[in-house]
Structure 1
Amino acid sequence: MKLNLKRPLIFFDLETTGTNITRDRIVELSYIKVYPDGHTESKTRRLNPGMPIPPGATAVHHITDEMVKDEPSFRQISKALLEIFEGCDIAGYNSNKFDVPLLIEEFGRAGLNFEVAGRKFIDVQNIFHKMEQRTLVAAYKFYCGRDLADAHSALADTQATYEVLLGQLDRYPDLENDVEKLAEFSRSGKSVDLSARIVLDDNDVPVFNFGKHKGKPVKEVFRKEPSFYTWMMQGDFAKNTKDVISVLYAECRNQK
């Protein structure tokens, strides 16, 4: 199918030093520029971010400091890149929340204005999520091939969840039929508590995953600000979360 375009549409993606839009930098930019007549231009450019690429980021995109040390900075290519994007609409995957805002930040640091007004922005991820519902009803239809009768009744939903898991095991050969491994696979990232309020960082140190201390080691915060522990214990947090932080709080107190 050919896209119905009135002006060029640029699909683009970024690889970066991290996920902080205001602080992180681009290390690779790829684009495909689709013209109204259907022909395309594409290019990939690696960039020296002017800062070390964290190991966690390299683990994702496999780009190292050594690989970009002789590449130009974003500032050096910014004017040429702005011309490429001039008069184009934009498309990407999760681009509205991440790629486009970060690109705007980079142009701003280079003293250039990436004009948003007048452009159309297509986020393919949002289309995917809206077209393919992430509900039990949708999962039951997808994995079991049947419509879920009596949806939102406890028994029907419980039975459907059981059947969906069986369907997942049938569909994915790499998904091991082992409770321990299924539990590990279905965890929310490297969460320590069930609500993922506390997670493990790259060094397997428990850190906060919310609020003003997000990303900071739990024990370090509790040592410096014990009132934060008290606040959490008195706050609207799940019992499991409170149990987890109580253990961590006791450990940091015993280490004094």
Structure 2
Amino acid sequence: MKLNLKNPIIFFDLETTGVNIVNDRIVEISIIKVMPNGEEIAKTRRINPEMHIPEESTAVHGITDEDVKDCPTFKQVAKSLADLFEGSDVAGFNSNRFDVPMLVEEFLRAGIDVNFSKKHFIDVQTIFHKLEKRTLEAAYKFYCDKDLKNAHSAEADTRATYEVLMAQLDRYPKELENDISFLSEFSSFNKNVDFAGRLVYDENGEEIINFGKYRGRKAREVLQSDPGYYGWIQGSDFPQDTKNCFARILVSMRQ
């Protein structure tokens, strides 16, 4: 099976210091960029997170402070990474909930303005969970009939994710279309406004708060009825991308 592509698509996986997209940092990124003609460009790069890698994270991916002490920081490689993602759609495993929000935060911290708003995002895990409900190792065994060696290394997980999507298209020809727009829609549970999913669009395209005491309320109504809420968002431990989305809503209300 060959992906039917109009644009290049990037499969990617991150290894990080932890799972908090605000406070944790990337220590490794692996990318497979697939071109419409089937050509592949594969890159793996370790990143100095400029913070201690907790032992519990090292136990998962095997990367230590010593391994990355001489590696470039994310800010040093951000521009070249942004150029690589330019014009490409994006795919990963649990990427809509973690890898994409984490990557966006790193770009924002590095001062790189990357416009992800018009990309299609395919989360292979979501497709898998909707149709089979298991893990990446199980998905790889189920769809590809192979054991995933070196699981939780970014390179192995990225390659496995790419192969699983190919096999999913072969296995579910009636349920899945070999079309990036379809796969992006199928692998999304919500239509997120921000990449962390704190804001989602309803069926009318209105921004809806997706957490906390105002969950399910229109963001515009909340910002109007509770003026202090915006200040609380901006001063709290939310991803910068989420704060930016609230700011754009507030600005549009004042125009």
Q: For CA contacts below 8 A with separation 6 or more, give which structure has more relative contact order.
A: 2
Identity level (%): 64
Unaligned runs of 5+ in 1: 135-141, 143-210, 212-256
SS in 1 for 2:104: helix
**2:54 maps to what in 1?**
54
CA deviation string 1:193-238 (max 9, x = no partner): xxxxxxxxxxxxxxxxxx9xxxxxxxxxxxxxxxxxxxxxxxxxxx
| Pair 1:32 & 2:3 matched | no
> 1: CA distance between counterparts of 2:50 and 2:78?
15
Aligned to 2:75: 75
Q: Within 1, Cα distance between the matches of 2:101 and 2:131?
A: 24
The 4+ residue runs of structure 1 with deviation greater than 4 A are: none
Equivalence for 1:44: 44
Q: Is the 8 A contact 1:15 1:26 kept in 2?
A: yes
Match of 2:115 in 1: 115
Partner Cα distance (2:56, 2:98) in 1? 18
SS in 1 for 2:116: coil
* Number of residue pairs aligned between Structure 1 and Structure 2: 136
Separation in structure 2 between the aligned mates of residue 116 and residue 83 of structure 1, nearest angstrom: 12
Match for 1:52: what amino acid? H
Show CA shifts across 1:34-75 (max 9, x none). Answer: 000001000100010000000000000000000000000000
Matched to 1:39, the amino acid is E
Partner-residue secondary structure (3-state), 2:108:
helix
In structure 1, what is the Cα distance between the partners aligned to 2:20 and 2:100? 13
The answer (yes or no) to whether the contact 1:104–1:113 under 8 Å persists in 2 is: no
Residues 73-110 of structure 1: CA deviation (Å, up to 9, x unaligned): 00000001100000000000000000000000000000
- Structure 2 segments unaligned to the other structure (5+ residues): 135-141, 143-211, 213-255
CA shift at 1:133, angstroms?
Answer: 5.2
With normalisation by structure 2, the TM-score equals 0.52
SS in structure 1 at match of 2:49:
coil
Map 1:213-228 → 2, pairs under 5 A: none
| 8 Å contact from structure 1 (residues 11, 91) kept in 2 | yes
Q: CA deviation at 1:116?
A: 1.9
CA distance in 1, matches of 2:95, 2:133: 20
> If you compute each CA radius of gyration, which structure gives the higher value, 1 or 2?
1
Matched, 1:21 2:21: yes
